[in-house]
């Protein structure tokens, strides 16, 4: 009984901690971005006056879209890490 309670508390903690873990993925995001994403466009595209991305969710859609075009088959957390890095470095959405 007591054991079960401990386990579910740990599971709950993992859920609560998850967003903080994503924030710590900047290093991964930076690495993935520099290895895969600067062949066609550089940062100038992200700050161009006619840029398409105008929110965190469109940013994720574009990251996913470009990654899919490149056949990278990234997992959700890799897309998330790159979007988080790009937001911090270039887009700066709140």
Q: Report the residue number, 6 or 71, with the smaller CB distance to ligand HEC.
A: 71
Contact (CB, 8 A) for 38 and 90: no
Q: Report the residue number, 33 or 80, with the smaller CB distance to ligand HEC.
A: 33
Shortest CB 23 distance to ligand HEC, Å: 18
Q: Report the residue number, 2 or 94, with the smaller CB distance to ligand HEC.
A: 94
Q: How many helices (H) and strands (E) does the chain have?
A: 5, 0
Please report, as ranges, the residues that interact with ligand HEC according to CB under 6 A: 33, 36-37, 39-41, 45-46, 51-53, 59, 62-63, 66-67, 70, 72, 82
C-alpha distances out from residue 12 to 2, 8, 9, 84, Å: 16, 6, 5, 24
């Amino acid at each position: 009984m007591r054991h079960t309670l401990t386990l579910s508390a740990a599971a709950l903690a993992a859920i609560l901690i998850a967003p903080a873990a994503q924030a710590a993925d900047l290093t991964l995001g930076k690495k993935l971005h520099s290895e895969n994403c600067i062949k066609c466009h550089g940062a100038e595209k992200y700050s161009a006056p006619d840029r398409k991305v105008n929110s965190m969710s469109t940013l994720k859609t574009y990251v996913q879209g470009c990654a899919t075009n490149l056949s990278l088959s990234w997992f959700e957390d890799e897309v998330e890490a790159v979007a988080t890095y790009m937001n911090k470095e270039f887009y700066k959405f709140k």
